[in-house]
Amino acid sequence: MSGSIIRKRFSQGAEIFHEGELGSCAYVIESGSVEISTRRGGSKVVLAQRGPNEIFGEMAIVDDKPRSATVTAVEDCELLVLSKAQLQQRIDNLDPVLKMVLGVILDRFRESLRSMHSETRSPTDVISAVDPQMQIKAYKAAINRIELEQSLRVAVEDHQLELFFQPLVGGRDGRLRGFEALSRWRHPERGLVSPAIFIEAAEESGLIFKLTEWALHSACAALKRIEKTPLFYDDFTISVNVSAHELSEPAFINIVTEAVQRTGVNPKNLTLEITESALMKNPDATLEVLEDLKSLGFSLSIDDFGTGYSSLSYLKRYPVHAIKIDRSFIVDLERDPRCVDIIRALVGLGHDLGLNVVCEGIETRTQYDKLLELGCDALQGYLIGKPMPLDDALARMCAPAVCEVC
């Protein structure tokens, strides 16, 4: 399978790659050791040895130049393959200054290797500048990330991802307004994995596009089911979270449109939640995408509102339907009067702009009552219901008492 973890084994003495050839991957040593060498004046010069948790062959996947040395297995080796494709997206997205610095470092490293071909110099001069402890830590973090990404790729393909649904209720009537769809990973060994663990990896590896496509289709399929229940009404919505990366991807509009067309749901019953910080990454470009989405009939909500420093001039131009006040303000509501003032101001701002104001992260009855008093239009939080599988969410919300507090 294309997404599975790729490991390679080399027996003692085997050549892993040769100086001058084009490389398409780097290797992380899981066990065994290798020797890095070059030829000078017809004889072999050993440049370095690498052992477990160390990486080699990385230069060829950062730039397109030929391998600058030959690598041979000193002992039997088991190697984890890090492909160029796994790195490409990150390199493309790198801050340009960082990209330039990386290029300079690589060029200088290659130059120092070239000078070693002609001078008598200890090979360790080239590699001793790095603190070994720091290097091991950095390698371990990178290995964990590579493994996470590779198993996430498998998870997307093997249907290990699942949507959980968390209810939102109306402030005035306590009626179910809809659900927020939150991704969960049912890992065969680790059990249920939280999105806090895998969304960032999905974003950094580019897998987020597949994940969102899947989430949109699953949310639309859930909407089709809910349409047949008494819970459904004209303004019922399911919210799906969208990352900043997707807003800058031209195909995103097609992906969202395809999801609603294939399932036959009304776009107004699908809310796209975009964090305030994602909106502010590239506000002008984002504005255009939001306008397109709105004209197609989708509902739009600004998530984690109050944390992303949006400028008021953009806020008034964003064609959104709702703002969702960040949980951090609700957490401190009971002990910090300034949070009450901030929420009051945010609710006023939202209402003045003609937006619905949603509050999330409500865990106590006191918070719930205070938010109602402050004029919140919709509420979400563990007090009302935790995220749960669709069957449980439907069973719970169809029960006579909609939620514990109503």
Q: Which residues bind ligand C2E (CB under 6 A)?
A: 166, 182-183, 194-196, 199, 212, 215, 241-243, 303-304, 360-363, 381-382, 387
Q: Compute the least distance from the CB of residue 141 to ligand C2E, in Å.
A: 21
Helix H or strand E segment including 324: strand 322-325
- Residue number, 166 or 271, with CB nearest to ligand C2E: 166
- Residue number, 25 or 272, with CB nearest to ligand C2E: 272
- Residue number, 100 or 192, with CB nearest to ligand C2E: 192
- Residue 213 interacting entry, from ligand C2E, Ca ion, none, C-beta within 5 to 8 Å by type: none
Report the C-alpha gap between 164 and 322 in whole angstroms. 22
HEC string of 216-230 equals HHHHHHHHHHHHCCC
Q: Compute the least distance from the CB of residue 324 to Ca ion, in Å.
A: 6
Binding to Ca ion (CB under 5 A): which residues in 227-256?
241
Q: Compute the least distance from the CB of residue 154 to Ca ion, in Å.
A: 26
Both tokens of 382, joined, read 């563990």
Both tokens of 83, joined, read 């492909």
Q: Compute the least distance from the CB of residue 25 to ligand C2E, in Å.
A: 29
Question: How many other C-beta atoms are found inside a 10 Å radius of the C-beta of residue 230?
Answer: 8
Both tokens of 264, joined, read 């036959």
Q: Compute the least distance from the CB of residue 194 to ligand C2E, in Å.
A: 5
- Tokens 């001058």 belong to residue: 20
Stretch that binds Ca ion, among 154-162, 167-175, 265-273, 392-400 (CB under 5 A): 265-273
Report the C-alpha gap between 73 and 259 in whole angstroms. 50
- Residue 299 interacting entry, from ligand C2E, Ca ion, none, C-beta within 5 to 8 Å by type: none
Beta carbons within 8 Å of 230's beta carbon, 6+ residues apart: 398
Q: What is the DSSP letter of 268?
A: G
- Residue number, 58 or 363, with CB nearest to ligand C2E: 363
- Residue 363 interacting entry, from ligand C2E, Ca ion, none, C-beta within 5 to 8 Å by type: ligand C2E
Burial of 21 (0-12, 13-18, 19+ CB in 10 A): exposed
- Residue 196 interacting entry, from Ca ion, ligand C2E, none, C-beta within 5 to 8 Å by type: ligand C2E
Q: What is the CA angle 357-362-368, rounded to 5?
A: 75
How many binding residues for Ca ion (CB under 5 A)?
A: 4
Binding to Ca ion (CB under 5 A): which residues in 272-331?
273, 303-304
- Residue number, 16 or 388, with CB nearest to Ca ion: 388
Binding to Ca ion (CB under 5 A): which residues in 188-217?
none
* Half-sphere exposure of residue 103: CA atoms within 13 angstroms, side-chain side: 10
Both tokens of 228, joined, read 């047949």
Q: Compute the least distance from the CB of residue 307 to ligand C2E, in Å.
A: 10
- Residue 215 interacting entry, from ligand C2E, Ca ion, none, C-beta within 5 to 8 Å by type: ligand C2E
Q: Compute the least distance from the CB of residue 256 to ligand C2E, in Å.
A: 13
Q: Compute the least distance from the CB of residue 401 to ligand C2E, in Å.
A: 19
Q: How far is CA 300 from CA 24, 73, 356, 357, in A?
A: 42, 55, 11, 12
Q: Compute the least distance from the CB of residue 328 to Ca ion, in Å.
A: 10
Report the C-alpha gap between 322 and 330 in whole angstroms. 17
- Residue number, 182 or 323, with CB nearest to ligand C2E: 182
- Tokens 């999105």 belong to residue: 195
- Residue 361 interacting entry, from Ca ion, ligand C2E, none, C-beta within 5 to 8 Å by type: ligand C2E
Both tokens of 167, joined, read 């209810």
Burial of 228 (0-12, 13-18, 19+ CB in 10 A): exposed
Sheet with 77-83: strands ordered across: 7-10, 77-83, 25-31, 55-56
- Residue number, 68 or 241, with CB nearest to Ca ion: 241
- Residue 231 interacting entry, from ligand C2E, Ca ion, none, C-beta within 5 to 8 Å by type: none
Backbone angles phi, psi at 335, to 5 degrees: -110, -10
- Residue 379 interacting entry, from Ca ion, ligand C2E, none, C-beta within 5 to 8 Å by type: none
The CA radius of gyration of the chain, in Å to the nearest whole number, is 26
Q: Compute the least distance from the CB of residue 161 to Ca ion, in Å.
A: 17
Could you list the residues that contact Ca ion (CB under 5 A)?
A: 241, 273, 303-304
